[in-house]
Amino acid sequence: METKHSNLKNKVAVITGGGGVLCGSMAKKLANQGMKVAVLNRTLQKAQAVSNEIVENGGEAIAISCDVTDRSSVEEADRIVMEKFGQVNVLINGAGGNHPKGSTTNEVFRKEDQLDNEAVSFFDLTTEGFDYVFQLNMIGSLIPSQIFSKRMLENQGTIINISSMSAPSPMTKVPAYSAAKAAINNFTQWLAVHFAGTGIRVNAIAPGFFLTEQNRKLLTNEDGSYTPRSQKIIDHTPMERLGKPEDLHGTVLWLIDEEYSQFVTGICVPVDGGFMAYSGV
C-alpha cells in the first residue's frame, strides 16, 4: 500500500523544468499526495500536458511558461502562483540541460582530433557554450531560489536542487555540464547553511542515469537498443539498469516531508543504482 504523506495536503510545490520526464513525474506524484502544483517550463505546451494530466486525475495544478534565467520571467511566474495558490512551500529546481558547444565529441583527446573538422575537441569548446550551460543550470537555480524562498520565510519550506552523478565524478564529453552540476552541489550546501535559522531546508538529489528526451539519442539507437556509451553506464551500475522516473519519488517525498526529514539539510542524495559506489573492478 502506498504511503500517504497527509501533512503535504494542500501545500504548494513549484517545479521548474516541470514539463520534462523526471520533473513531470515528480509533479504528478506530489499532486497525488494532495499538493497543489505549479508546473513551470520554458515551453508552455509541455507544462500544460503535465498540468492537464494532474487535473484529469483529480489533482490541482497550473502550467506557467517560465525562463528560469530571466528574473522578470520568474517574477511573473511568482505573481501567478501567489494569485492562484497564495503560498509556496516547496521549490524543485529541475530546469537544466547541456549544450553542444560545451561538449566534446570524443571521450579523450587525441592529436588527430585537430584534423577532424567534424569532431569537437577541447580546443573547440566555446565560452558561449559554457555560459549557456551555467546560466541554465546554476543561474536557473539561483533566481527561482531567491524569488520563491521569500514566500517560505513565514511558513518554512524546502528547496530541492537537481544535481547529477557528473558533479562528484565528471563524465567524459560534458565538461560544462559537469562543472555546472558541481556548482549546484556547492550552492546547495551554502544556501542550506545560510537559511538554517529560517526553517527553510535546502537539499539536492543527484539522479544516476535516467532515460529522458534530452539524452535519448545519446543512450539509445533508433531501434531502442543501447548505444555503446549507454552499455558502458549499465556495466558500471551494480543494479544493471537505467533509472525510471518513479525511482526518484521516495527521495523527493522524504526530503519535502518534515515529519521524516526535519533535521536534514545541506545534503545531496544520489539515486543511482549503486553507480558511485562501484569502482569498476
CA dihedral 24, 27, 29, 31 (to 10 degrees): -140
226 catalytic per annotation = no
Among the listed residues 132, 177, 260, 278, the single catalytic one is 177
Q: Which residues are catalytic?
A: 177
